[in-house]
Structure 1
Amino acid sequence: MAAPRGKRSRRIAGLPAPLVAGLGLLALFLLLALSADLIAPYDPIFQDAAARLAPPSFAHPFGTDNFGRDILSRAIFAVRIDLQLAILGVVFPFAIGTVVGTIAGYFGGLVDTVFMRIVDVVLAFPFLVLMLAIITILGPGLQSFFIAMALVGWVSYARLVRAQILVLKTSDFAVAARSLGFSHPRIMFRHLLPNALTASIVFAMSDCVLVLLSGAAISYLGLGVQPPAAEWGIMVAEGQGFIARAWWISAFPGLAIVALAFAFSLVADGLGELLGQRT
């Protein structure tokens, strides 16, 4: 179905402009992550007491923190961790929610009721509060964050996929597949699921923004990535006490978070337009 006239964005090489711009920004962040050792001017954990709280200059374009560490170098190395937070923090919930939603929507009945009641229980708690509770139990760290995201974040994908499967399982091609005696797993994962993933894929790109901000917030609270590792949320927290006289400690990592979140938002908008025109 074509997009309504007047609402279609510009296209570059046949793709929506937001998608191209977002992918370009993500490619830039990926390049920074892969070549951080070559691009960063300093070791991200090297401390220079003589350069403590130095403002932005030619030697330190983003200034230094209260330990004399170069902010630019730490921000570049932090791309590696924050990309992991945003991407892996979505991959695990996406996989779990997709499987649960497919099974619940296809079989219905008691199976659907049990899974959806579990979804209701998870949704009864505020997202961030439940995340913090799980991480507190497991202990701070990147692994705990991913486990918490997997345990909490799958419910949205399960609901999206289930709704699509409920519609698709009554379609002609699904009825024909059952008439031919195909097994349930084949019908679910080879015939129904590929046609039910469009909305989930677009939502996943938007969800990367939420996961990125959640990861930064949890690191800010001291429950995520632990110092002296370079991570944008930690860097913002470290600069909080010096915001009046050394604004650059928090400002540049904060801008990096906004830039990466903006890139994922552009990709989500572009994918929504691209995939929407094909449905």
Structure 2
Amino acid sequence: MSVSTARLPLSIGFSRWLGRHLTLALGLGLLAFFIVVALAAPLIAPYDPVMQTAEVRLQPPSLSHPFGTDNFGRDILSRVIWGARIDLQIAFIGVIFPFVIGTLLGTIAGFFGGFVDAVFMRIIDVILAFPFLVLMLSIIAILGPGLTSFYIAMALVGWVSYARLVRAQILVLKNSDYAVAAVSLGFSRTRIMFRHLLPNAVAGSLVFVMSDAVLVLLNGAAISYLGLGVQPPTAEWGIMVAEGQPFITTGWWIPLFPGLSIVFLAFAFSLLGDALGDMLGVHE
């Protein structure tokens, strides 16, 4: 009797937590799955992802090749598993630099205002005058294909959204009572910006990070699809979709499984963004 009464509150508590945070649990579960797959790729991939075997070209899914093989005889499952490493790297690194740069610039512009803010807004207007993907492609074309060029292009273009979000919050918060009190107490501008204003202004950006990770992931896949991102024979989902396009009717499994991987990873980030927005009381 005592055992059942002790367990009942725990089960009820878990059920209530799961009901309130189901979106968070699903998002974390999906993302954790992809991270584990990426980290364990050398252990769980059944074949070398770049090994070509002419005898098994364009084989449909089977017991020996659960996801089939491509036109070079490479195992699709192994390439999807190893591709998780590249695409997770694209999603994470592709948002870190724009987030840091945009948050810093938005804080400075919103706090100082005046001439600094005017220059800041004109720079944003110039960047927004060009379509995002076109500007990225132009930068990558100048720097040359590859992930490094992609990350540089994301840092130069992607910071705008974060900066605008943080700037708008700082403009409101710097007139709040605690900010005025901090100025009256003689605190330095640096302390007021980064210890008092920024922690309260960054919530919206943290939520946007998850949504932006989806866009970065899709942009990375698109860049690789166009031949300007990760270069063959490296296993990357965007490249795999591009390589499978000519065989869409005869080898449907070649683009299907990497395409589904992109969808599910993007879905994980979307779920996390929704859950984080609910927890922080921020809605985009």
The normalised TM-score by structure 2 is 0.93
Superposed, 1:1-279 pairs within 5 Å as 12=17, 16-276=21-281
Residue identity in the other structure for 1:102: T
Mapped to 2, the partners of 1:241 and 1:21 lie a distance apart of 35
Does the aligned pair in 2 maintain the 1:47–1:69 contact within 8 Å? yes
> One-letter code of the match for 2:241?
V
Q: 8 Å contact 1:15–1:274 — kept in the other structure?
A: no
Q: Residues 9-35 of structure 1, C-alpha deviation per residue, up to 9 Å, x if partnerless?
A: x96358521111101100000000100
SS in 1 for 2:158: helix
CA distance in 2, matches of 1:228, 1:208: 25
For the Cα contact (< 8 Å) 1:96–1:150, is it kept in 2? yes
CA distance in 2, matches of 1:15, 1:199: 21
The structure whose residues are more often helix, as a share, is: 2
Q: Hey, what's the Cα distance between the residues in 2 that align with 1:177 and 1:14?
A: 41
Provide, for residues 196-234 of structure 1, a one-character-per-residue CA deviation record: whole Å limited to 9, x for no partner. Answer: 011111111001000000000000000000011000000
- In 2, the alpha carbon distance for the partners of 1:62 and 1:50 equals 16
Question: Which amino acid in 2 is paired with 1:65?
Answer: D
Report the Cα distance in structure 2 between the residues aligned to 1:233 and 1:38, rounded to whole angstroms: 23
Which position in structure 2 is the counterpart of 1:3? none
Structure 1: unaligned runs, 5 residues or longer = 1-9
Structure with greater Cα Rg:
2
TM-score normalised by length of structure 1? 0.94
Identity percentage of aligned residues: 74
Q: Distance in 1 between matches of 2:45 and 2:75?
A: 9
- Asked if structure 2 preserves the Cα contact closer than 8 Å seen for 1:12 and 1:20, the reply is no
